[in-house]
Amino acid sequence: MFDFSFAELMVVMVVALVVIGPERLPKVARTLGHLYGRAQRYVNGVKADISRDMAMDEYRQLQQKVQAEAAALQQSMQQAGQAVDAGVQEINQSVASPLPVKSTKALPES
């Protein structure tokens, strides 16, 4: 995260020892460690929340796609059903209509 060399870190530690003093330095270091851990847990929690929200958005998009596909399938099935109904009605009409009768000529008697 931060690019500190060992020498820079040693300078910071010596300055902290001089400014804070050897009596309070362990307590301050412990407090800083606790604060750093708390901040790290907070950042990890925020990352987890963001990841969860992104996953939920992906699930919502997938759900919308599935619903759109289901609606399209339902519409095509309705159209196919209407076409079958029209075919059945046409067959019923052709069966119900009487056959054309041709008149026949009378045969001569012999």
**Residue pLDDT, tens place only, 87-109:** 999 888 888 877 777 777 777 77
Residues 6+ positions from 43 with CB-CB distance below 8 Å: none
* In a domain? residue 84: no
* In a domain? residue 57: yes
CB contact at 8 A, 16 and 25: yes
**Residue pLDDT, tens place only, 12-34:** 888 888 888 889 888 988 999 99
Residues 6+ positions from 82 with CB-CB distance below 8 Å: none
* In a domain? residue 41: yes
**Taking 80 as the threshold, does the pLDDT of residue 1 lie above it?**
no
Q: What is the spatial distance between Cα 15 and Cα 9, in angstroms, rounded to a whole number?
A: 10
* In a domain? residue 68: yes
Per the structure, the count of domains in the chain is 1
* In a domain? residue 8: no
* In a domain? residue 70: yes
**Residue pLDDT, tens place only, 51-84:** 999 999 999 999 999 999 999 999 999 999 999 9
Tell me the residue range of the domain where 38 lies.
Answer: 34-78
* In a domain? residue 53: yes
Mean pLDDT across 36-45: 96
* In a domain? residue 72: yes
pTM > 0.75: no
Read off the pLDDT band of 9 (50, 70, 90).
confident
